[in-house]
Structure formats: C-alpha cells, structure tokens
Structure 1
Amino acid sequence: MKFRLIYVITWIACCSSMLSCKKNSLPAISSSSLTIVNAISGGYGLIPNFDSEKTLIYYKNAAVITNNGALEFSGHLGNIPLSLAPQTDTLHTLYKNNILMEANSIHTLFITGTVDNTDSYFTTDKVPAYAAADSLIGVRFVNVSMGSKPVSINIKGQSNTLVNGLAYKSASDFLPYAAKKTVPATISYIFEIRDASTAALITTYTLSSLGTKISKSVTIALKGIPGGTGANAQVALLVNNY
C-alpha cells in the first residue's frame, strides 16, 4: 500500500513538472498596433470592421472613432480585411482595403477628405524609444489636408525650418524635442504650418503640458481643405503614438 502511495505521488509530481515545463516553454505572443485617425472634415464617427467580408451586426456595441479623434487597435496579424462605415449609416462603406499587419509592427491609418470625397493614408511608424533621463518627446508631422500644396513647419519666433516640402499624404520622421518636468506649465512649443512656396501661415498648433509627455511621441497632422472655412478649414490635430 505504501509502495502504491509513493507511486501515485511520484506520478502526480511528474505530471506537474511536465505541465510546468509546457507552460514555461510557450512562445511569446506577437501582436501589432494600428491607430485609426478620423480626420474627415465636417465628418461623423467611424465604426471599424476588421472582417469586411462579414456584415457588422452589433454596431451599437462597436468602437466609435469620433471625428477629429483616434483609436488604437491591437492583436490583428496578417492580411486584415478592414472596412470603415459612418456611425450614421453602417450599411455605407467609406473605406475598404486589405492591410498587412506584421508581428510587432506599428501603423497609423488616416481617413481624410470630406464626407462626399474621402481619402486615406497608411503609414508604418518607427516610434523612437527615449529614456526618461533624456527628457525628450518625439514629434512628427503629417499632411493629410486634401488638395494641399507642400507645407513647411517651424517653431514660432524661430527662423529655422523644421520640416520643408511636406506634400499631401506624406509624413516626417519623429523629431526629438526637450521636455523637462521642471519646465513651467506655461512653456510650450507653438508650431507654425506654412505654405512651403510662399511662407503664408496656414495654421498653428500649440504643444503644451510637456512634462506629461516625456519619453512619449505624438503626431501633429494637418487636415482640412485649402481655402475651406468652418468645418472644412485647415487645422492641425494631435495623435498620440505612446
């Protein structure tokens, strides 16, 4: 009886050891990141469907990308059949395309234009990794202003050009900027976006709260229609690439 008990205990221990080994040897799960930016002028919320071959039934519970907003999605790998529909009419597709999401990749999809004439711009992002001790933030600039001429970007009060000739549907690299926690809250970067050929000011964007953005990266995107007013005016919006 004692021998049987020892045998049973030994068998249980072996099984536990095997399970533990299997658990520890599981491969790391790869993922990806896709940020969808709703930059449609005068638009509405967008609802994504990551299987465009199927009708989105439970749209009321789906994620909504608000106008001038962005949402990040992860866990999608391979050739993804993505579609986007307006929140007001999910039977109408504004965007439909297969996008390749490789393991450990980071991407941004900008949906731009107007409600009657939409366009898209897909980027593969190389987001920099800054150490906290560096007290830096990364900033890149994207031109998704439909019909826009190339633009240049400078900091207000400074003559040097940070980015020059940024055409429609193009992006700059992420550029490092100092952001110390000791910097007063009133200190900020005011970026001026200008017509690259005439230097005429198009719009500005104020990047503030620098101390909360240390080691992080953001995108400043120009949207709108040249010469547009109201909802169609050319303005800049911020997208977090944390």
Structure 2
Amino acid sequence: MKIMLKTGVTCLLTLTIGFLLSCQKNEVIGTLGIAKVNVVNAVVGGGGIKVNVSPKEMSWSSIPENQVIGYGTGKLYMVSTDKSTHLKVVRIVDTTQIWYNRNVNLKKETMYTLYLSGTPSAVDTLFCAETKFPKPISRDPGHLIPAKDSVVNIRFVNLSTSGPVVDINIEGHTTNEVTGLGYQQFTDFKSYLVTDQDQGISLEIRNSLTEEVIATYQVDVSKWGNLFKTISIVIMGAYDPDWSLSIPDQDRYMVTEVPYDNVTY
C-alpha cells in the first residue's frame, strides 16, 4: 500500500509547535455546503482536548464535557462552508494552552482530518484534505448485499513520535499491507473485502528494521463492528519495548482505531 504525505491529500504540516500559535486573520468566504472534519488526539500525556469548529470564537465552558476528545480517540464534525471556519484546539486542563489555531476555508462535500501528536510541550499537527476519501456504499433496504460490496475501508497512520518505522501485515500473509511507515505518515484508504463468516482482520505491526512484531490489532469486520465503515488504524504512544521508563499505561505504545462516522453537529 502506498504511503501518503502529499499524494491523494492536501496537507499542512506543522512540527513541534508550542503554546503560542499565530491565527490567520483573513476570512475567506467558501461555497455554501457541508464539509466534515475528523480531529484525532494522539498527544502523549496531553489528556483530553476541546475543539472549536465554527465560524466564530466560542467560550470553552460552552462546549459540554461529552464533546471532549480523549487521548487515543477522534471526533467527526459536520461544518457549514458558507463562511471561513475557525479551527482551534485546547487542553481541557488548561485552555490557555492552544494546540492548533487557524482559519480554514473548507470545501463542500470534502472530508478533512486533523492529526495531533507529539507531547504537550511539543505538539505536532497535520491537517489534510482527503481528496481520495472512499464513497459511501449505498444499500437498498430489504435486499441482500452482494459479497463484492461487503467491505471495510482502512487507512494506516503512524503517530508515535518515539516509535520505529513499521511494516504492517495481515497475520499469516507474506505480503505487507504497508512497508516503511514512518512518523506522521499514512496510507490511502484501502477497501478490504469481507464475508458474513469473517469476524476480524488480524494485523501485525513490525519494526521495519528488525521485522520483530511489536504490536498486534484485531479489526472487527462484523456487521456489529466496522462492516461498510471507513476507519483509520492509528499507531500512537510512547515506545518503550523494555518497559524501562516510568510511563503511565495509557500513554504507552498502542494501536487503536478511529472511525469516520461519529458525527458531531
């Protein structure tokens, strides 16, 4: 699978930002319509975040706790494109710590992703327009679904700043799904065909240099899981293979999935 930095997406990469971020003052009027923005929180030790995705500034206290994006999770927002969108991210423990702050001109019917990684004192961000996002599968109620339409769309993302470059394969397969996936790199979305008998796709994440398996993950492809859905498999956390460092368990190297269907209006 091809590793993406620019092909298939338009990206803005900002490395190791601190608490002071400039805000673009100019407003650009977009085309009336709806865009979607998926915000992914992979900042090690940063805790939860609040996000303002709207045409204007908002009081952080007005954003309810159930809208907090916890570490290792993401949230998808639907946004009107009739005005420039204010995209701002802060830590909930201290809302003066601004992790992302800019005005963006979103295009209608376009999916965007904002990845946040690194650490609280050195946040890395990557904002992408998904120009190759999979089209939804239309299914007629009451009709059997053809086997060729039974798919799960998967992207692989490496957001572990301290982890190695990785290869990813399906257990028992000799061909890699992706080879040489480095920090802040990601693949295109790929459609995986599944059947009613398939319950999961077993992934092995290997150190690209040593080929040692350093993590595994089971993707639920059942109708109760990710069937017909689009997800990102995200590698994140502090890499400590010898368990020699004092790292909270929740911040250790891990693999998780981030869906593209948990919409917030």
Given the two structures, how large is their TM-score scaled by the length of structure 1?
0.77
Asked whether 1:56 is paired with 2:51, we answer no
1:239 aligns with 2:258: yes
Label 1:217 to 1:51 Cα distance change in 2 as closer, same or farther (>3 A). Answer: closer
State the structure with more CA Rg. Answer: 1
Counterpart of 1:68 in structure 2: which amino acid?
G
**Structure 1 residues 183, 87: closer, same or farther in 2, change over 3 A?**
same
RMSD: 2.5
> Larger % of strand: which?
2
CA deviation profile, 1:28-58 (whole Å, cap 9, x unmatched): 9511000111112233211112369846253
2:71 is matched with 67
Q: Which segment is superposed worse, 130-139 or 166-175? A: 130-139
AA at the equivalent of 1:89: D
Query: C-alpha separation between the residues in 2 aligned to 1:138 and 1:57?
Result: 34
1:34 corresponds to which residue?
A: 37
Please tell me whether the aligned partners of residues 200 and 219 of structure 2 are also in contact (alpha carbons under 8 angstroms).
Answer: yes
Contact 2:50 2:63 in 1 (8 A): no
Contact 1:113 1:225 in 2 (8 A): no
Q: Is the 8 A contact 2:60 2:95 kept in 1?
A: no
Q: How many residues align?
A: 212
Identity among equivalent positions (%) equals 25
Which residue of 192, 205, 209 corresponds with 1:177? Answer: 192
Q: Are positions 1:92 and 2:97 aligned together?
A: yes
User: Relative contact order: is structure 1 or structure 2 higher (C-alpha 8 Å, sep ≥ 6)?
Assistant: 2
Pick one of 190, 199, 205 that aligns with 2:217.
Answer: 205
Q: Give yes or no for contact 1:52–1:96 (8 Å, CA) kept in 2.
A: no
Unaligned runs of 5+ in 2: 1-30, 139-144
For structure 1, the residue ranges without an aligned partner over 5 or more in a row are 1-27
Change (3 A) 1:216 1:113: same
2:26 corresponds in structure 1 to none
What amino acid is aligned across from residue 117 of structure 1 in structure 2? A
Q: CA deviation at 1:142?
A: 0.7
CA distance in 1 between partners of 2:52 and 2:71 (Å): 17
What is the match of residue 228 of structure 2?
Answer: 215
1:237–1:57 distance in 2 versus 1, CA, 3 Å: closer
1:177–1:81 distance in 2 versus 1, CA, 3 Å? same
**Hey, what does 2:9 align to over in structure 1?**
none
TM superposition shift of 1:74: 1.1
Query: By percentage of residues, which structure has more helix?
Result: 1
Secondary structure, in 3 states, of the residue corresponding to 1:94?
strand
Any conservation in 2 of the 1:202–1:234 contact (CA below 8 Å)? Answer: no
Aligned 8 A contact 2:32 2:108 in 1: no
Describe the shift of the 1:144–1:79 C-alpha distance in structure 2 as closer, same or farther (beyond 3 A): farther
Which residue does the alignment assign to 1:13?
none
Look up the SS of the partner of 1:158 in the other structure: coil
Distance of 2:47 and 2:55 partners within structure 1: 20
Q: Structure 1 CA distance, aligned partners of 2:113 and 2:192?
A: 22
Question: Residues of 2 paired with 1:210 and 1:122: CA distance?
Answer: 31
Q: What residue number does 1:16 align with?
A: none
Which residue of 108, 111, 114 maps to 1:103?
108
The answer on 1:127 being equivalent to 2:133 is yes
Q: Residues 210, 119 of structure 1: CA spacing in aligned structure 2 closer, same or farther, 3 A cutoff?
A: same
